[in-house]
Amino acid sequence: MKLLITVVQDEDAQKLISSLMSEGFGVTKLATTGGFLKAGNTTLLIGVDEEKLDDAIHIIEKVCKSRRQMATSPSPVAGAAGMYVPYPVEVTVGGATVFVLDVEKFLKL
């Protein structure tokens, strides 16, 4: 058995959970925050039988696409100490970060 720890953007989370559950995968959702934009993201814990691992990863790839988005980044103002003005910057968001771990023992009590 494998445990997928999958970090996705909040925007993709519900569709991914629905897609995984409709294919019979169990999913536990954790609300998390982090990354460059300090934006909300979701961490999913997904228990997967080894022979279904590729199927689960395929669903994640299909649902969680990377995309470009405008964000603001502070820039120092010339000649003004300690003053910053936000300016727009295009960044890549979305996609998924997936950690695949071996599960030594699984109990459902």
Q: What is the pLDDT of residues 64-93, one digit of tens each?
A: 987 776 666 666 555 556 566 666 766 655
Q: What is the pTM for the complete model shown?
A: 0.74
Q: What is the pLDDT of residues 6-41, one digit of tens each?
A: 999 888 999 999 999 999 999 999 978 776 556 678
Backbone phi and psi for residue 49, each to the nearest 5 degrees, phi listed first: -65, 145
Token couple for 18: 């629905």
d(CA 87, CA 109): 53
Length of the chain in terms of residues written: 109
Q: In the chain, what are the domain boundaries? A: 2-66+94-102
| Domain covering 2-66+94-102: architecture | 2-Layer Sandwich (3.30)
Going from the C-alpha of 63 to that of each of 60, 70, 97, 108, the distances in angstroms are 5, 21, 13, 28
